[in-house]
Structure 1
Amino acid sequence: MTWDVLSIIGTIAFAISGAIVAMEEEYDILGVYILGIVTAFGGGAIRNLLIGVPVTALWEQGFLFQIALFAMTIVFLFPNKLLKHWAKWGNFTDAIGLAAFAIQGALYAVEMNHPTSAVVVAAVLTGSGGGIIRDLLAGRKPLVLRDEIYAFWAIFVGLIIGFELVKQSYELYLLFICIVILRVLSYTFKWKLPIRSIHPSKNQSAL
């Protein structure tokens, strides 16, 4: 039950995220659907390849494909006045997708009896893989590669589940809520990981 719920939540959240990005880039309706689909299912496809799951397993998710198509259609038909709030709520939708899919990916790896390292990789790829493909197709710098804290929360999920610190369904839902909150706090208060640039700063260049 937990698996199914997280799959539905993540699929809807990332399908909407991809569709909105496509509309921001002024893609046509086909582009909206393609970007939404790769955002919702791209991470899972990459995960499956790396942990040994047949790629054909992706095509067995017909119900989730229907949900994604329905969500994208609704968003495409939204009035522009509502879509203008994407800047405010878009990151929140992405946070939901990240949390849901990271947990789902970690559970997938645990079910296949993979080591903790593989659980972490599965969580990261499932939680952020679709977003990376989305940003690349949209000609944007992938969110996960910026200094803003993003993939770190997927790593955190992988470690928590890999070390079996949470097992019950209610614990997984609490973890989901915590990750969403942490992701929201990280972009609200601009938490960042350390960065180091080899390029001189503007002030140094001016000297």
Structure 2
Amino acid sequence: MTWDLLNIIGTIAFAISGALVAMEEDYDLLGVIILGLVTAFGGGIIRNVLIGIPVDSIWQQGLLLKSALAAMGIVFFMPSNFIQFSKKSLHFFDAIGLSAFAIQGAIAATSMNHPISAVIVAAILTGIGGGIIRDILAGRKPVVLREEIYAVWALLGGLIVGLNMVNSLVDYMILFIVLVCFRMLSVKYNWKLPHRAL
């Protein structure tokens, strides 16, 4: 149940995120659909390659594909004032997708008895992979490479799951909410990792 819930939450959030970015870049309807699908499923495909899940398992996720398409359709055909509001919420949708998919990726790696290092990497790549592909296709600098903290929250989620610190659906939902909140706080207060310019 936890897996399915996080899958649906992350897929819808990242599909909306991809659709909004595509609309900001003035893509047509097909471009919106492609960018939304890439954002929603790109990280999961990268994770599957990494931990040994058949890549074609994506075609068995009919409900997720339909959910993503429905979410993108709603966003695309919304009135302009709602779209403008949604654009302001782009970071929020991105935070939801990041957190849900990071936890989901960690669960996938844990269920296959991979070591904690693989669990953390699976969490990070599942959480940030779709967003990186989205930003590259949209001609933007990927969010994960910007100054505010991003991938650290996926790493933290993977570490907590990998150490078996969460066991129930309630625990996973609390972790999900905490990661979303920290991601939004890092945007609001512009928290940064140490960096050095040359």
Match of 2:158 in 1: 158
Moved over 4 A (4+): none
* Deviation at residue 168 of structure 1 after TM alignment: 1.4
| Greater C-alpha radius of gyration | 1
Match of 2:94 in 1: 94
- Whichever residue aligns with residue 107 of structure 1, its letter is I
- Whichever residue aligns with residue 158 of structure 1, its letter is G
Match of 1:75 in 2: 75
Match of 1:57 in 2: 57
Segments of structure 2 that go 5 or more residues without pairing to the other structure are: none
Contact 2:19 2:72 in 1 (8 A): yes
Contact 2:20 2:87 in 1 (8 A): no
Determine the C-alpha separation between the residues in 1 that align with 2:56 and 2:12: 21
* Deviation at residue 148 of structure 1 after TM alignment: 1.0
- Whichever residue aligns with residue 146 of structure 1, its letter is R
Which secondary structure does the structure 1 equivalent of 2:180 belong to?
A: helix
* Deviation at residue 86 of structure 1 after TM alignment: 3.2
Match of 2:111 in 1: 111
* Deviation at residue 102 of structure 1 after TM alignment: 0.5
> Are positions 1:13 and 2:13 aligned together?
yes
Determine the C-alpha separation between the residues in 2 that align with 1:30 and 1:87: 19
Determine the C-alpha separation between the residues in 2 that align with 1:21 and 1:69: 15
Change (3 A) 1:9 1:87: same
* Deviation at residue 83 of structure 1 after TM alignment: 1.2
Q: Deviations over 1:53-107 (max 9, x none)?
A: 1111111111100000000000000111111123421101110111100000000
| Normalised TM-score (structure 1) | 0.94
Alignment map for 1:107-186 (pairs within 5 Å):
107-186=107-186
Percentage identity across paired residues of the two chains: 63
Determine the C-alpha separation between the residues in 1 that align with 2:5 and 2:195: 36
Determine the C-alpha separation between the residues in 2 that align with 1:53 and 1:96: 24
Determine the C-alpha separation between the residues in 2 that align with 1:192 and 1:88: 21
What's the RMSD between the two structures over aligned residues?
Answer: 0.7
Which secondary structure does the structure 2 equivalent of 1:193 belong to?
A: coil
* Deviation at residue 6 of structure 1 after TM alignment: 0.6
Q: Deviations over 1:158-203 (max 9, x none)?
A: 11011111111110110001001101101011111111001xxxxx
Match of 1:47 in 2: 47
- Whichever residue aligns with residue 30 of structure 1, its letter is L
| Normalised TM-score (structure 2) | 0.98
- Whichever residue aligns with residue 90 of structure 1, its letter is L
